[in-house]
Amino acid sequence: MTASELIDQKIAELGDWRGEFFAQLREMIRAADPEIVEEWKWDTAVWSRHGLICAVGAFKSAVKVNFFKGASLQDPDNLFNAGLDAKATRAIDLHEGDALEEAALTRLMRAAVAHNLTPKK
């Protein structure tokens, strides 16, 4: 199966609010950058462009969006609420009933892509 098919399968298996959040996040990620690539690594949905961007995972009480280089990103909308002590990553934990802040998430996703595209010194 392709990565996209595995992600489709995961969303269908969830079948509750987590699947709905997962599907909405996937669409926002793909819309934020048309060149982003869907992958399936470590039994997890992962998106990359010139390196890893983020992963989305569903847990019993949360859907987590993990930004692999989140510590290097500006977060003016204060979306990061998990993994704040990690050296490189930052995450957003979403719970049932939370609102998805599409504009803010899109800005953060675009910042993550831009970070990967910036030449390193």
What global pTM score does this model have?
A: 0.93
Domain boundaries, the chain: 3-117
Q: Report whether CATH 3.40.50.720 matches the domain 3-117.
A: no
pLDDT of residue 8: 96
| Average pLDDT rounded to a whole number, residues 68-87 | 94
Residue 7 CB-density burial (10 A; 0-12 exposed, 13-18 middle, 19+ buried): buried
Give pLDDT tens digits for 101-120. 999 999 999 999 999 999 87
Dihedral of alpha carbons 31, 40, 75, 92, sign: positive
Give per-residue pLDDT as tens, 1-11: 999 999 999 99
